[in-house]
Structure 1
């Protein structure tokens, strides 16, 4: 009887942990800017379980940058405290002044996750295209770890296949798990069971993953690896989960 109860509790714990995938989030007010009146975009930075809309506190990021035409601009001083999903988060505004492809990247301070006995650092990016320009969307940024899109990360329909390549220290990562979740902002969807909360795909020998997006909205892709170095937590060395996260929007066509 005791063994059966223990097994049940273990299974519940395991399934609950699997269902609650962590995602750094950088969500812009729009991923495409076509008119000058929309040139100022708002960006929301948070840390969450996006499908279940369960937030976690996001400390002041170590860095928040925008990359455009090969140049990086630090935006950390532009961040303002906010509350997202009932937890401390951040927002910023950025004015787009010329045609281009703008990649926004958040490097958070390490987050200690007691349930996983490790630190979490999610290098999180999103891409905005402006005024008809689309050159440079597949350019690596030289991050510690990142997803380099192989499918253009804007202007996509729901139902499209999305591909990306996972890099760690600039090199492709074979066999990496990539967690995929929907940002259930309006809470209009509910997963049929815990397995459906987080989708999982795996990279091939070249670090490439493929996912067919089932419905419209913002989708996050998080490629997870363990850092070679450990970090100290209360005098004990602990593992560090390195996440390469990319958020991109998929749309339904406008019906006449």
Structure 2
């Protein structure tokens, strides 16, 4: 009886705890390449602020680069790796020419049994080669996507990042946006309320957030897909379609 009671209490505590935010990371080694060159990109599915746990990430359905209106398929360049004991992906891309490269990924749907739904986070990040400051607001055309109104590269700590949540190319009024910092271990949240920052876009789908610390910040606008999918048990379940963009803040006086 004691064992059963303890197990019941543990289950109740788990259900009462706030759900950890899933974030599809797509992090480059730099947001700006002043002289061009090679950028390394890591694709990990995890909880950034908590530094885990990591989730198994199967090979994406799409991974590419948008540059000057041209899309390049980079899926064959992905190399399987391990991060946090789970499968992740990595690649290196040489940006020889000036201009902005927008890297994006459409991961394979992830089944989350705790929430009873599939998760697809359409994710992108901007890398500026030769510090041109051009082309950063070009849209990939993902089903759900954040349109940056602030250039998402070359930002100081404390800068206000502003974007518009879109679905099917149209703004999403009052969309919920979750924000997390990629914690290097230097930040301890006072309590769970500080782990994931949450805000609502306005009636035009526009949101803003001032990044208080140097490092990478993920902005995840969560929407529900129009269609359902079959769970492993064969039931129709919802699909969380997230629009993610990663933005780096840099302290003044420090190199990126």
Q: Same fold (TM over 0.5)?
A: yes
Q: What is the aligned partner in structure 2 of residue 230 from structure 1?
A: 228
Residue 97 (structure 1) shift:
1.2
3-state secondary structure, aligned to 1:211 = strand
Q: Which moved more, 1:152-161 or 1:7-16?
A: 7-16
CA contact (8 A) 1:53 1:85 kept: no
Could you say which residue in structure 2 is the equivalent of 1:33? Answer: 33
Write the deviation string for residues 151-194 of structure 1: whole angstroms up to 9, x where unpaired: 1101101111111100111110011110000001x211111000
Give 1:148-167 correspondences, 5 Å limit.
148-167=147-166
Match of 1:133 in 2: 132
CA distance in 2, matches of 1:216, 1:13: 33
Q: Distance in 2 between matches of 1:157 and 1:29?
A: 17
Q: CA deviation at 1:212?
A: 1.1
Give the distance between the partners of 2:13 and 2:201, measured in 1 at CA: 27
- 1:15 equivalent among 11, 14, 17: 17
Superposition RMSD in Å: 1.7
Cα deviation for residue 33 of structure 1 reads 0.4
Q: Residues 51-106 of structure 1: CA distance to partner in whole angstroms, max 9, x if unpaired?
A: 01111111000010000001100000000011123311000110001100000001
- The one-character-per-residue Cα deviations of 1:183-223 (angstroms, maximum 9, x if unpaired) are 01x21111100000000011111100111111111000000
CA 1:217–1:109: 2 relative to 1, 3 Å: same
Q: Quick check: 66-75 or 231-240, which moved more?
A: 231-240
Q: Distance in 2 between matches of 1:10 and 1:228?
A: 32
| Matches of 1:166 and 1:100, distance apart in 2 | 24
User: Are 1:62 and 2:61 matched, yes or no?
Assistant: yes
- 1:146–1:166: 8 Å Cα contact kept in structure 2? yes
Aligned length, in residue pairs: 246
Structure 1 unaligned runs (5+)? 1-5
Give, in angstroms, the shift of residue 10 of structure 1.
Answer: 5.0
Matches within 5 A, 1:190-205: 190-205=188-203
In the superposition, the TM-score normalised over structure 2's length comes to 0.92
Which residue is equivalent to 1:45?
43
Stretches of structure 2 that go unaligned for 5 or more consecutive residues are: 1-7
